[in-house]
A and B are shown apart, each in its own frame.
Chain A
Amino acid sequence: MIELKQIEKNYRRGAEEVHALRGVDLSIAAGELLAITGPSGAGKTTLLHILGCLDQPSKGEVLFDGVKASSLAENKLVKLRREKIGFVFQQFYLIPRLSVFDNIALPLLFSKKSADRNKILELAALVGLEHRLDHSPAQLSGGEMQRTAIARGLVNGPEILLADEPTGNLDTENSEKIYKILRSLSENGLTTVMITHNPELAARAERAIQIRDGLIHS
């Protein structure tokens, strides 16, 4: 489904030239649950951003369903992200004044689709938040906030869900709930890529890769 060929990513941090990725090759099959581990600064998040077409590689090719995403124009990339990619972040990034319902529906605003109440209810039920739809983020626990963010990542019906340390801010019980949701999504055919520092969760994924110094060490 996604294929990375000899991906390099370099950028400047002040006077320093950073080589975040140094020739990464990676294939992710449809429906796969992939865990990415590695120390801080190894290039995990950079890799996830390139997979999610948020960032472009300095060298190499990104093929998304056979389409060369690394050479697409900005507007095409926006469309690709809207239609095919879901994102989940460690910090949740929910909009404080919007209800759980509206937070889940937010991406629909950008894809110019109306919020289908039944679809939102279905997603909320999938993440166990059907009774919290009218609540504001401030009224939710950390686990509930992350589950809202997962539902938001799914609302446009993506082909792949990219989660950047989704359990990084959660306790063991909530981490387990989030993992089970991701696992279930993957079992239902959604390609899922998860960055994690938790070796136990990584070990339970279908496949786990480790990144060190900008290179994959499987």
Chain B
Amino acid sequence: MSGFLNLSWQNLLRHRTRSILTMLGMAASVGVLFSVLSFNQGFNQGLETELERTGLHFMIVPSGCAHEVASLVLHGAVIPKFLDTKVMQHVRSTSGISLATPILVAQLPDPQRGKIDLIYGVDMAALSAIKPGWQIDGKTPTQENEVLLGYEVAQHEKLQPGDTLRTTEDGRTLIVGGIVNLTGSQDDAFVYLPIETAQALLDHPSAATAIGVKVDDPSKMVEIIESLSAAVPGIQIVTMGEVMNSISNLAASAKALSLSIVLIAILISAVGVMNSILMAVFERTQEIGMMRAVGASRFDIFRIILEETTIIALVGGLIGIFLSVLGSRLIETFVRSVVPYVPSGELISFDPKIAAGSVLFIFIIGIAAGVYPAWKAAKINPIEAIKG
């Protein structure tokens, strides 16, 4: 350690408790900054991955709110409108489309259990194309009375493949064919069943909440969308990119708010650092006077004090990042429990760029917080200081 750095370090050790508490203040701020930035990045990546996993290029839904469509795509929101049955015929007759699969999402009450099941009717043959990331215990339903349970539903109802979920009003017995492994997303809360069964249970033959479409050549997607929009009235076509933007826009204000809170926390910590170092400067006035007498320039004094704040900020920053990586699972669990939509997958992971950026930021804040105490120290008149 260089002489100046060692001197600054030793000065901090003189008031160990005060220095540690100040560092912890910095650590908390940097930890939260790192977590929020990591979460924001993880959110965007997770969202992108989740949309890619749908394997679809766009969704056709009844005209309405784009946010509803985003919700439908991502976690099967219930939209109180159905597509006209003719839409499916139009879509299937359009050239350039490799897959068009109707989806029917609805709430289905079960008076016997006193519960409402969230059902997701889909063409089971197209399921692997829509949800390619899924792992299933048991099998994908092949019979009209077979269902696939989301992980949480299976856990909550304590059901295994082969068990009976319920008997419907029209006398069907729905048997559990398989259980989807934990996805960490809202997919875990649904009962998946063949779309024909869902349509029959809702008494809406041929109805669909949405049609998921995959095209042969993505470069021709715009032309296909324009052609479909012109041919079929009363529909809205939303691409996965638009869904991503829609969700991102919804999340943007929350991200901005959380970042603002973090910045305020950092500002408070920086003021704490400034106060702590300023106290140390006042306590060491005579010592600073002595150093000036034995040859220290004003800049030497400025440097010693500035290095003290920089050490506090840097060590605090590194501790904060270390703790936030250690506690990332806890933070993620908490966020998932309070935020309505969070993509599946790991949201807070150690990204060296974010860590380095956070440390650099706090380094700059440390220097900014240290300038005033360092300037005060450099201005100390050695004669008055020595006189005490």
Contacts and interface: CB of A to CB of B under 8 A. Distances in A.
Contact of A78 (B289, B295, B383, B388): B295
A110 B290 CA distance: 12
Contact of A75 (B286, B287, B291, B297): B297
A95 B294 contact: no
Given A49-B383, A54-B383, A97 B10 contact: yes
Contacts of B287: 93, 95
B296 interface: yes
A171 B6 CA distance: 34
Interface in B272-320: 286-287, 289-298, 300
B290 A93 contact: yes
Interface stretch (A81-89, A124-132, A196-204): A81-89
B86 interface: no
B290 A89 contact: yes
Tell which of A91, A95, A102 has the most Cβ of chain B within 10 Å. A95
Interface string B189-204: 0000000000000000
Contacts of A45: 387
A110 B383 contact: no
A110 B318 CA distance: 30
A110 B10 contact: no
Contacts of B294: 81-82, 86-87, 106-107, 110, 152-153, 156
Contacts of A87: 290, 293-294
A52 interface: yes
B3 interface: yes
Nearest to B284: A95
Nearest to A45: B387
B293 to A, nearest CB: 5
Given A55-B383, A109-B4, A93 B286 contact: yes
Contacts of A109: 3-4, 7, 300
Contacts of A110: 291, 294-297, 300
Nearest to B292: A54
Nearest to A108: B3
B246 interface: no
Interface in A156-174: 156, 164
Contacts of B290: 87, 89, 93
A185 interface: no
Contacts of A115: 3
A97 B386 CA distance: 20
Lowest 8 CB-CB distances: which A-B pairs, in order? A82-B295, A97-B10, A93-B290, A110-B295, A109-B3, A107-B294, A110-B296, A87-B293
12 contacts: A45-B387, A54-B382, A54-B383, A74-B298, A82-B294, A89-B293, A93-B286, A97-B11, A98-B10, A106-B7, A110-B294, A164-B386
Interface of B: 3-4, 6-7, 10-11, 13-14, 286-287, 289-298, 300, 382-383, 386-388
